[in-house]
């Protein structure tokens, strides 16, 4: 999601000085009240998470009971798993029906400015390979790079 933190709505009152170059000459000592989060604001990650969570829940997703950054959608024979990685603004989406998955990604794109990176091959040190019937996840490349970095390959 492009500029994800800027989509977060603030629940509390947050004020900031007028930005340089945009100071109102008739009220130079006035401050601005923020309605949405900005990068660097300590509330920004939580505000973004709340905003995207609200969207997902309204779409019919449910929170995973074991991890708050995993969302699951079940409807008839369709299932979608979504992993939200707030620190880097990644959203990983997998499902069992490509047409339905495409419909969801389209809806997500209408709500937020997203960039679809297509099937992923590496994510947070994990190597992901599509196999018939599922995904194969390993850290072979990570382990190899770690051994190489410490000059332990012989």
pLDDT in tens, 38-97: 888 888 888 888 889 999 999 999 999 999 899 999 988 999 999 988 765 678 888 888
Q: Are 125 and 66 in the same domain?
A: no
pLDDT band at residue 27, thresholds of 50, 70 and 90? Answer: very high
pLDDT, residue 89, reads 64
The pTM of the whole model exceeds 0.75 = no
122-123 and 126-131 beta bridge pairing: antiparallel
Q: Are 111 and 135 in the same domain?
A: no
For CA atoms 139, 144, 145, 146, give the dihedral sign: positive
Q: Are 65 and 139 in the same domain?
A: no
Number of domains in the chain: 2
Paired tokens of 42: 């300590």
How far apart, in whole angstroms, are the C-alpha atoms of residue 141 and residue 31? 50
Question: Domain range holding 43?
Answer: 4-118
């Amino acid at each position: 999601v492009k500029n994800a933190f800027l989509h977060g709505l603030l629940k509390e009152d947050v004020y900031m000085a007028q930005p340089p170059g945009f100071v109102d000459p008739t009220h130079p000592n006035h401050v601005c009240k923020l309605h949405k989060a900005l990068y660097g604001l300590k509330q920004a990650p939580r505000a973004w998470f709340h905003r995207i969570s609200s969207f997902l829940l309204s779409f019919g997703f449910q929170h995973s009971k074991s991890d708050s950054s995993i969302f699951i959608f079940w409807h008839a024979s369709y299932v979608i798993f979504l992993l939200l990685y707030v620190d880097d603004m990644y959203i990983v989406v997998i499902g069992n029906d490509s047409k339905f998955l495409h419909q969801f990604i389209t809806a997500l794109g209408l709500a937020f400015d997203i960039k679809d990176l297509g099937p992923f091959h590496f994510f947070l040190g994990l190597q992901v390979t599509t196999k018939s019937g599922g995904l194969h996840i390993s850290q072979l490349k990570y382990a190899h790079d770690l051994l190489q970095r410490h000059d332990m390959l012989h």
